[in-house]
Amino acid sequence: MTLSNESPEVRNEPARTDLSGKWSHVDACLNEWLVPADPVMTAVLANNASADLPPIDVAPNQGKLLHLLAKIQGARSILEIGTLGGYSTIWLARALPEDGKIVTLEYDPHHAETARHNLSQAGVSHLVDVRVGEALGSLEQLYAEGAGPFDLIFIDADKPNNPDYFKWALKLSRPGSLIIGDNVIRDGEVANRHSTDPRVQGVRTFLELIAAEPRVTATALQTVGSKGYDGFVLALVTE
């Protein structure tokens, strides 16, 4: 199954950046109501900025969503592909029981060092195994070690490799595992089959693989907010 052909109107529609201020304001209201200010998480984002990490962490309400999904899932073991400074890692780790574990994969040693500092500051280091190196190699190593199956897998790394990350996620999952992919809308460019952006094409192939995979049932949601126009895909492993 492939993504449907789009009309020229869809392909050429500009990003709705004129609404970004309103989206951010609404996010701020939602966070004020439902995601109370957390000095630790505020410090984590400040540490990431001081370390010159790119400001591409999930928003606080998105982090809370990941936390709630892990809680609903009853997750005891989590795999995260893409650590950055550990902001989303902390949200996920806080959902684990004391005997739970999250394995998080990060390519950049500097990012991983920052993440380890943040994880320690958040008091969740004992729950987290940070592995440094190319994610595909780390995934192969995890599989060779007999790791998993993981209850929840969060894919939030380089988008051209998303199709391969999904294939590994299936190998490291079980019936009932939840696979979540971030940044799958990309300002609406996911609907543009003519895009020359390898990140867009990586996401398109990722979604096509999910759509064609009989072992999962899935949906995707568009999101707007302080992080712009993007979205998540959620796939439940059924067999």
Q: What is the pLDDT of residue 19?
A: 85
Q: Please give the chain's pLDDT, 239 residues, in tens.
A: 445 444 333 334 444 456 889 999 999 999 999 999 999 999 999 999 999 999 999 999 999 999 999 999 999 999 999 999 999 999 999 999 999 999 999 999 999 999 999 999 999 999 999 999 999 999 999 999 999 999 999 999 999 999 999 999 999 999 999 999 999 999 999 999 999 999 999 999 999 999 999 999 999 999 999 999 999 999 999 99
The whole-number pLDDT of residue 17 equals 53
Question: SS3 letters for 179-199?
Answer: EEEECCCCCCHHHCCCCCCHH
Q: How far is CA 27 from each of CA 15, 55, 59, 66, 153, rounded to the nearest angstrom?
A: 19, 16, 9, 16, 25
Residue with tokens 């010159």: 52
Rounded to whole angstroms, the Cα distance separating 27 from 33 reads 10
Nearest to 148 by CA among 216, 101, 116, 90: 101
How many CA atoms are closer than 13 Å to the CA of 235, on its beta-carbon side? 28
Query: pTM of the entire structure?
Result: 0.92
